[in-house]
């Protein structure tokens, strides 16, 4: 390709989509979701594109549990004028809950836990699915007004995820109960009763545990007494057991100040960036002659 053709290259680089994935039945957002923002850099007014995720619903990625499925479908639309045809690329960067790029070891482990419904119409040009930063190329041209297939369609937390895997994704920030806001208990689900230790005189061999559990401290059953403390017994769905992490409204960070991941991922984030080039500036999407500057290589350089 001549230097003149290289100067005619027109590009779009949009940094649009940052989506936090949060796991944990008792954990709300660790970080505030950023607003979608376009940063478009072009060398000609008629080369534009739009990166979007129409099915992405940020609240759907809160408080994930095994078996959760999150619709997430990054895709690029050719919004150029004058019938310009484009090639498109997407860069994915995987981050932990503190915003740090995952290590290859952590990325490899994460990919053995979650499932991703990848599209067959994108191919990975840089990295592997175990690399924390990847560049994918759309294997079709994008005529004006046409939208690519999503690079993937959904992310799944399998129902057979183990407790250890789940706790690793959730991560440990050192939060204690003071970091959370707990709902008021529902008397129908949370009841006051008495838990009697095994050597309490009420365990006389004739009374059932169900009978004993109803006896107040200092009360009696069959003539036997025991001074045991009252406890609140919670069913699994008792709201007061489910705490939402209290966030600072100005920063979106935990109000208790615990922002350092002590172990595990501390949830994860996928940063999505898109780039397009004018297709007819090149001799093809992926050529055999290494001396020529083909579109897939040009797309990659846009992310550097």
pLDDT tens digits, one per residue of 14-27: 333 444 444 432 22
pLDDT score of 232 more than 80: no
Find residue 275's DSSP bridge partners: 13, 89
More confident position, 285 or 196: 285
Domain ranges of the chain: 3-176+246-301, 184-241
Average pLDDT, integer, range 185-199: 69
Strand runs (DSSP E) across the chain, as ranges?
11-21, 49-52, 69-71, 75-78, 86-96, 115-118, 122-126, 133-138, 152-156, 180-182, 190-194, 220-221, 224-225, 230-234, 243-245, 268-278
Res. 303 pLDDT band, cuts 50 70 90 = confident
Res. 218 pLDDT band, cuts 50 70 90 = low
What average pLDDT is seen over the chain?
A: 75
Res. 31 pLDDT band, cuts 50 70 90 = very low
Res. 101 pLDDT band, cuts 50 70 90 = very high
pLDDT score of 188 more than 80: no
pLDDT score of 103 more than 80: yes
Which of 119-123, 178-182, 227-231 ranks highest by mean pLDDT? 119-123
Average pLDDT, integer, range 128-139: 93
CA angle 286–87–272, rounded 5-degree value: 110
Res. 175 pLDDT band, cuts 50 70 90 = confident
pLDDT score of 5 more than 90: no
pLDDT score of 304 more than 80: no
Q: What is the pLDDT of residue 138?
A: 93
Average pLDDT, integer, range 159-186: 84
CA 149 and chain centroid, separation:
21
Q: Return the DSSP state at 281.
A: G
């Amino acid at each position: 390709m001549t230097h003149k053709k290289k100067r005619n290259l027109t590009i779009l680089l949009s940094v649009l989509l940052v989506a936090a994935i949060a796991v944990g039945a008792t954990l709300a957002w660790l970080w505030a979701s950023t607003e979608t923002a376009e940063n478009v850099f072009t060398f000609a007014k008629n080369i534009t594109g739009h990166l979007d995720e129409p099915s992405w619903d940020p609240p759907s990625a809160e408080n994930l549990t095994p078996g959760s499925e999150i619709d997430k479908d990054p895709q690029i639309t050719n919004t150029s004028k004058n019938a310009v045809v484009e090639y498109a690329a997407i860069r994915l960067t995987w981050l932990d809950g503190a915003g740090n790029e995952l290590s290859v070891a952590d990325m490899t482990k994460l990919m053995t836990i979650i499932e991703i419904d990848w599209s067959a119409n994108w191919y990975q040009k840089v990295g592997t699915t175990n690399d924390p930063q990847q560049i994918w190329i759309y294997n079709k041209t994008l005529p004006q007004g046409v939208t690519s297939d999503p690079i993937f369609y959904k992310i799944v937390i399998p129902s057979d995820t183990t407790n250890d895997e789940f706790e690793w994704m959730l991560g440990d920030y050192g939060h204690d109960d003071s970091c959370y806001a707990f709902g008021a208990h529902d008397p129908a689900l949370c009841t006051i009763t008495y838990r009697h230790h095994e050597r309490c005189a009420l365990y006389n061999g004739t009374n059932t545990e169900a009978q004993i559990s109803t006896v107040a401290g200092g009360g009696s059953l069959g003539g036997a007494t025991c001074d045991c403390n009252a406890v609140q017994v919670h069913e699994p769905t008792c709201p007061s057991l489910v705490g939402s992490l209290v966030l600072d409204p100005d920063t979106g960070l935990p109000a208790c100040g615990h922002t350092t991941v002590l172990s595990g991922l501390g949830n994860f984030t996928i940063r999505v960036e898109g780039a397009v080039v004018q297709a007819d500036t090149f001799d093809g999407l992926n050529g055999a002659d290494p001396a020529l500057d083909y579109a897939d290589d040009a797309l990659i350089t846009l992310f550097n």
